[in-house]
Structure 1
Amino acid sequence: MTDEAPYVHPLADVQTLRIGPRTRVWQFVVILPGATIGEDCNICSHCFVENDVIVGDRVTVKSGVQLWDGLRLEDDVFVGPNVTFTNDRFPRSRDHSVAFQQTVVRRGASIGGGATILPSVEIGERAMVGAGAVVTRSVPARAIVVGNPARVIGQVEGSKAYEAD
Structure 2
Amino acid sequence: MDMQEFIDYCKAGNPISGEDKELHTMLTQCSYEAQRITMELNTSYHSKAEIVEIFRRLTDSDVDDSFMCFPPFYTDFGKNIDIGKNVFFNTGCSFQDRGGIYIGDGALIGMNVNIATLNHGFTPETRSTTYAAPVYIGQHAWIGTAATILPGVTIGDHAVVGAGAVVTKDVPENTVVAGVPAKVVKEINEDS
Q: Give the shorter-chain TM-score range.
A: 0.7 to 0.9
Give CA deviations for 1:36-94 in whole Å, capped at 9, x if unaligned: 422311111111351111000000000111232300001000000000101113279x9
Q: Distance in 2 between matches of 1:120 and 1:52?
A: 14
Q: Which protein has the bigger helix share?
A: 2
Partner residue of 1:132? 164
* Aligned ranges 1:101-140 → 2 under 5 Å: 101-140=133-172
What is the CA RMSD across the aligned residues, in angstroms? 2.9
Q: Distance in 1 between matches of 2:84 and 2:121?
A: 27
Is 1:71 aligned with 2:101? yes
- What 5-or-longer segments of structure 1 have no aligned partner? 1-10, 14-21
Runs of 4+ in 1 over 6 A off after TM superposition: none
Residue 99 to residue 155, structure 1, CA distance change in 2 (3 Å): same
The TM-score normalised by the length of structure 1 is 0.73
Compare CA radii of gyration and give the structure with the larger one.
2
Is 1:57 aligned with 2:85? yes
Q: Which protein has the bigger strand share?
A: 1
The amino acid that maps onto 1:105 is I
The TM-score normalised by the length of structure 2 is 0.63
Q: Distance in 2 between matches of 1:152 and 1:24?
A: 38
Greater relative contact order (CA < 8 Å, ≥ 6 in sequence):
2
Report percent identity of matched pairs: 27
- What 5-or-longer segments of structure 2 have no aligned partner? 1-39, 43-47
Is 1:40 aligned with 2:66? yes
Q: Distance in 2 between matches of 1:47 and 1:30?
A: 14
